Amino acid sequence: MTKAKRNRLIYNIVTFALVIGAFLLLQSMIANKSITRSLKGQLVPICCWVVMAVSLNLVIGISGELSLGHAGFMSVGAYTGAVISGWLLNAHGVDNTTLRLVLAIVAGGMAAGVMGALIGIPVLRLRGDYLAIVTLAFGEIIRNLVNVLYVGVADGRLTFSFLNKSMPEGVTMLVDGAKGAVKIKPISTFTAGFVLILITLIVVLNLVNSRAGRAIKATRDNRIAAESMGVPVTKYKMMAFVTAAALAGMAGALYGLNSSTVVPTQFTFNQSINVLVFVVLGGLGNVLGSVISATLLTVLPEMLRAFSDYRMLVYAVVLILVMIFTNNPLIRSVLSSAVAPIKRALRGKKQGGETA
Amino acid sequence: MKKVFALLMAACMLLSGVSALADEAVTLKIAHIGPTTGAAALYGLATLHGAEIAAQEINEANGAFKIELINEDDEHNVEKVINAYNAALDAGAQMILGTTTSKPCEAAGAQGYTDRVFFLTPSASSTAVIEDKDNVFQICFTDPNQGSASAQYIAEHGLGTKIAVIYNNADVYSTGIRDTFVAEAAEKGLEIVSETTFTDETTDFSVQVADAQNNGAEIVFLPMYYTPASLILKVAADKDFHPIFFGVDGMDGILGVEGFDTSLAEGVMLLTPFVATATDEKTVNFVTKYQKAYGEIPIQFAADAYDGIYILVAAAEKAGITSGMEPEEVCDLMIAAMQEISVDGLTGSMTWDESGAVTKTPMAATIVNGEYVFE
Amino acid sequence: MIFLDNLINGLSLGSIYAIIALGYTMVYGIAKMLNFAHGDVIMIGAYIAFCGLQYWGLPPVIAILAAMAVCTLLGVTIEGLAYRPLRQATSLAVLITAIGMSYLLQNIALMIWGANPKSFPRTFINGASIRIGQLSISSATIWTILANIVIMVALTLFTAKTKMGKAMRCVSEDRGAAELMGINVNRTISMTFAIGSALAAIAGVLLCSSYPILQPTTGSMPGIKAFTAAVFGGIGSIPGAMIGGVLLGVIEIFGKAYISTELGDAIVFAVLIVVLLVKPTGLLGKPVREKV
């Protein structure tokens, strides 16, 4: 086994071990009721944001394209999930919540994936900041369109209408324009979120370590060189983009079905930015980093509740300071020299353990 | 005999001692949930401040109840509101005064329905807030209520027949009022000549106003809050377009905007349960205290929340809530008590039925010389 | 007639976008960063001007100058404290810092001025509108268009003629080479922020003169739209920002007037996408040749 391969294996094992460990710990806390309501209520959203962050990292960190419209895919997934779940319940009487949830998540992923492909074909021709602004534009367009979308279910059939609410008699509204997806029966569970994280990690880590993944990274590092080596750049970029969109859609479905209602204003440009912050703070291309930062940054504002009205202020200051501290070469070298002895000690221990 | 009497006396004194103990004020832990940061902070801070003033009054009065107010910020966000709600319960809240805005209230109310937690919302007015939930009660009118009342008022008073509607199609409040207004207007033989929309981020209203003007509207119906309304009034003045502007309760507050040229609002009509310039004793007392504490003229949201605290106390008294009672127990007692009480507040006299909707009468006001004039 | 009316409405909205886009494009062109906090500097500028007019009773011109002074100071401080330490960092790190700065400014404004909206007072800028037959043009629009032209000409002259302007162009072209030629890159970028932020103050006053509602979030949506406008016109290009802004405003108004008010924003962004697909670097942007 080469060193690089071994490091990668260790990294993957650590990632999975941490996620599974955290899940087991939380489950046991739930079992013996030592968890606060507040934390318990955040578990499913945390799972959703972790999946969002990891999938966006696939686009930004691994494929090297700045996307500012990731929340758009999430909303596609959330709406699709809510409609599918409502339809299964109202038209087909599917009472099994697990079945409904799974079908809704799969449908949400597929819908967002298709949307990702539609957007990706024209957009991935663009580079850098231009790509960023176009993804931003698509995110806003999706939000604008969802705002005037009406979906109802009557006599077992879904009825769609756009711009004006013309619905047959006796319809049960599932999506009601600005009122969003309404009367959702919340069926998301923490276990489902955990499974979704595992699936995401498996998909992303496998993709990164595969032939396609190497091609994607080569394209990121030097597009021209990769192109001249015969790498079909657009194909691989599409692959990363569509996968990320589909995963975001699945996260969206889980997110939507965790609440009794979902509104378009939840998926604004600011939400895309929030996910971007998770990715950048976790480290570009670092999947485990995304998992950790998405978790911490979702919990952090809640822990800052004690600061009440100042907490967004504190959050902003923390964000700026962290960016400066992790990115300034001077401060970084000071920090790393402080951390170095600890690291060395750790490494020594590990090596010692191995030789023994 | 004397002995027996003495014993009786002693028993009485003992009993009265016990009842004196029971008379010690009951502490109600009430959580206010609303957006105190972010784009909707204006409404959340208003309800918080209104509630604070009421709580302070009750605590200073040294009556049967003390209020301990917990505040949690929901950022006007459907995800965050659940966090706020859970945090409030973790902090020991027995009942919720909130949430301030409709969509979050719908989500938190549904969660509260499952957990059995009592909600009294000052200002979340969409019907979805109370639908299918027995635990949520409203202080404000429901949106459909306002829509049909406005159309009826316009028709009955013969203000005009050609109506333009400008509404926020990304907002539940605005679309809710618009839907019933349009339906009721059709029934009353009023003609909608122009209908245009905007969203929360819109600042340019030239197209909407021009459409109303070009279609010869006599009345422009504005189911929205006062911030966009003030921009619409300005555009209309620039275009020399002077129809009757007809607003709903969200319009109150327009005269309190710092720097606002009140001449723009001359002749604006609105249906509202509260105006800050009213001269009755209650309103004057509230407005004075509010201005002293926060340096601002209270908007209707603040008045609703102020009433909210008094309503909660009245219901708690009826229901016999005691200090430290669990929220689950409080919930069912409060639901029953709410349907029996009637409260005379800043926003009128109110009663409730089991649906959770309030019954009170709106008043029609016209703005003349920068002041509200009631008919 | 209605067409002309809409055209005028489009021009007035567009001229507002243009003046904000000028600041965006200038900072982007030279510092190569998306300064997401620009919209919030605009908001601060408008608040300062508001205070000047409403509380301190300053004459309008002095209030605007005060706003410009405060914003210039603010811009240079932000740059020095938050962006300068990240000069060597990835553009993403800078972007996130700018976003953090945007949150920070909004929350500071919320603390100082509260959440209640303020109405921007009347000044000479938003005086009586001018009528030609049935058409009316608000005086704020005329002032905005004038300001746009003056600023555009001044900026073009400044970058073409003065020493500092030339230094800016050098830094924009190749930061490393500029440093080797003895140009003080940090000072040049500071200067860029100073000018950009002073422009933001003017933009803030003009924005709030046209749409007189002032809240802590006032800058964010116009900021995004103006950023879109800057990209539309070719980011980094000064005339591009002007053209992009005006076109975006006209498209938005026409989309709302002739297609649907519900889909106004969707139409704007759809047009942007089409333009970028046909001309990937915007209307006036220079295509970048990649060297291997």
Give A-chain residues touching B38 at CB under 8 angstroms.
312
Among chain B residues, CA nearest to C120: B259
C88, C107, C263 member nearest A329 (Cβ): C88
Amino acid found at C41: V
User: What's the burial of A344, exposed, middle or buried (CB within 10 Å: 0-12/13-18/19+)?
Assistant: exposed
- Per CATH, which fold does C2-116+133-278 belong to? ABC transporter involved in vitamin B12 uptake, BtuC (1.10.3470)
Of 3.30.230.10, 3.40.50.2300, 1.10.10.10, 2.60.40.10, the CATH number of B22-141+281-359 is 3.40.50.2300
Q: Considering only CA atoms, which of A305, A295, A48, A25 is closest in space to residue B83? A: A305
The CATH number assigned to the domain with range B144-272 reads: 3.40.50.2300
What does the alpha-carbon distance between residue C191 and residue A98 come to, in Å, rounded to a whole number? 60
**Report for A123-132, A160-169, B31-40: range of highest mean pLDDT:** B31-40
Q: What pLDDT score was predicted for residue B170?
A: 83
Domains and CATH numbers, chain A: 3-308 (1.10.3470)
Give me the half-sphere count of Cα atoms (radius 13 Å) on the Cβ side of residue C97.
Answer: 26
Give B-chain residues touching C136 at CB under 8 angstroms.
238-240
Q: What pLDDT score was predicted for residue A355?
A: 39
Q: What pLDDT score was predicted for residue B14?
A: 47
Q: What pLDDT score was predicted for residue C291?
A: 56
C115, C257, C265 member nearest B207 (Cβ): C257
Q: A224 vs C290: CB contact, 8 Å cut-off?
A: yes
Give A-chain residues touching C235 at CB under 8 angstroms.
129
Residue A1 has pLDDT above 80, yes or no: no
Residue C85 has pLDDT above 60, yes or no: yes
Q: Considering only CA atoms, which of C286, C276, C250 is closest in space to residue C3? A: C250
Q: What pLDDT score was predicted for residue C228?
A: 85
pLDDT, chain A, mean? 86
Q: Which residues have a Cβ under 8 Å from the Cβ of C104 and sit 6 or more positions away? A: A313, A316, A317, A320
Instruction: Return the number of CB contacts < 8 Å for A and B.
Output: 84
Distance from CA of A193 to the nearest CA of B (A): 16
Regarding beta strands B119-121 and B136-138, do their DSSP bridges make them parallel or antiparallel, or are they unpaired? Answer: parallel
Enumerate the β-bridge partners of residue B65. B26
Here the ipTM equals 0.86
Query: What does each C-alpha distance from B369 to A126, B235, B266, B373, C239 come to in angstroms?
Result: 57, 20, 6, 9, 47
The share of chain C scoring above pLDDT 70, in percent, equals 98
Which of the pair, A33 or A203, is modelled with greater confidence? A203
Give C-chain residues touching B42 at CB under 8 angstroms.
115-117, 215
Residue A113 has pLDDT above 90, yes or no: yes
Tell if the pTM clears 0.90, that is, is over it.
no
H helices then E strands: how many in chain B? Answer: 11, 15
Q: What pLDDT score was predicted for residue C284?
A: 82
Give, for A80, the enclosing helix (H) or strand (E): helix A70-92
Residue A200: is the preceding peptide bond cis (ω within 30°)?
Answer: no
pLDDT-flagged residues of chain B (< 70): 1-23, 375
Q: Where are the domains of chain C?
A: 2-116+133-278
Query: Cβ distance A143 to A73 under 8 Å?
Result: no
A42, A183, A312 member nearest B83 (Cβ): A42
B41, B196, B227 member nearest C261 (Cβ): B196
Q: What pLDDT score was predicted for residue C289?
A: 62
- Among left, alpha and beta (phi > 0; psi -120 to 50; other), residue A95 is alpha
Residue A198 has pLDDT above 60, yes or no: yes
- Helix intervals (H) in A209-328: 211-221, 223-228, 233-256, 269-282, 287-303, 311-327
Q: Which two tokens stand for residue C148?
A: 């746009």
What does the alpha-carbon distance between residue C63 and residue B283 come to, in Å, rounded to a whole number? 37
Q: For chain A, how big is the Rg over CA atoms in Å?
A: 22
Query: Cβ distance A257 to A84 under 8 Å?
Result: no
Q: Where are the domains of chain B?
A: 22-141+281-359, 144-272
Q: How confident is the model at residue A352 (pLDDT cuts 50, 70, 90)?
A: very low
A148-157, B26-35, C44-53: lowest mean pLDDT where?
A: A148-157
Query: What confidence tens digit (pLDDT) does each residue in C242-290 have?
Result: 999 999 999 999 998 888 888 888 888 888 888 888 888 888 877 666 5
Regarding beta strands C135-137 and C130-132, do their DSSP bridges make them parallel or antiparallel, or are they unpaired? Answer: antiparallel
Q: How confident is the model at residue A214 (pLDDT cuts 50, 70, 90)?
A: confident
Greatest C-alpha distance within chain B: 96
H helices then E strands: how many in chain C? Answer: 11, 4
Helix (H/G/I), strand (E/B), else coil: B110: helix
Q: How confident is the model at residue C292 (pLDDT cuts 50, 70, 90)?
A: low
Average pLDDT, stretch C81-90?
87
A34-43, A46-55, A241-250, C271-280: lowest mean pLDDT where?
A: C271-280
- Please give the DSSP secondary-structure letter assigned to residue C221: H
Helix (H/G/I), strand (E/B), else coil: B352: strand
Q: What pLDDT score was predicted for residue B4?
A: 54
Q: Considering only CA atoms, which of C2, C13, C29, C39 is closest in space to residue C192? A: C29
Q: Rounded to an integer, what is the distance from CA C52 to the centroid of its chain?
A: 22
Q: What pLDDT score was predicted for residue A122?
A: 82
Q: Which two tokens stand for residue C6?
A: 């809409």
* Total Cβ atoms within 10 A of residue C270: 18
Q: What pLDDT score was predicted for residue B11?
A: 52
Chain B residues 305-364 with CB within 8 Å of chain C: none
- Please give the DSSP secondary-structure letter assigned to residue A47: H
Residue A25 has pLDDT above 60, yes or no: yes
Q: C272 vs A331: CB contact, 8 Å cut-off?
A: no
C85, C111, C272 member nearest A328 (Cβ): C85
Query: Cβ distance C92 to A67 under 8 Å?
Result: no
Q: Which residues have a Cβ under 8 Å from the Cβ of C53 and sit 6 or more positions away? A: B259, C60, C63, C120, C121, C123
Q: Which residues have a Cβ under 8 Å from the Cβ of A178 and sit 6 or more positions away? A: A147, A263, A264, B168, B169, B170, B171, B172, B174, B175
Regarding beta strands C213-214 and C118-119, do their DSSP bridges make them parallel or antiparallel, or are they unpaired? Answer: antiparallel
Q: C235 vs A276: CB contact, 8 Å cut-off?
A: no
Query: What confidence tens digit (pLDDT) does each residue in C151-181 have?
Result: 989 998 998 899 999 998 888 888 888 889 8
Q: What pLDDT score was predicted for residue A353?
A: 41
Query: What confidence tens digit (pLDDT) does each residue in C178-197 have?
Result: 889 889 999 999 999 999 99
Query: What confidence tens digit (pLDDT) does each residue in A308-340 have?
Result: 667 778 888 988 998 888 877 777 777 777 777
Residue with tokens 């998540």: A105
What does the alpha-carbon distance between residue C9 and residue C137 come to, in Å, rounded to a whole number? 8
Give B-chain residues touching A263 at CB under 8 angstroms.
78, 103, 172
Give B-chain residues touching C215 at CB under 8 angstroms.
39, 42, 227
Q: How confident is the model at residue A356 (pLDDT cuts 50, 70, 90)?
A: very low
The share of chain A scoring above pLDDT 90, in percent, equals 37
What does the alpha-carbon distance between residue C258 and residue C271 come to, in Å, rounded to a whole number? 15
Q: Confirm whether B22-141+281-359 and B144-272 share one CATH topology.
A: yes
Taking the CA atoms of residue B190, residue B192, residue B197 and residue B200 in that order, the dihedral angle to the nearest 10 degrees is -10
Q: What pLDDT score was predicted for residue B21?
A: 44
Q: What pLDDT score was predicted for residue A308?
A: 64
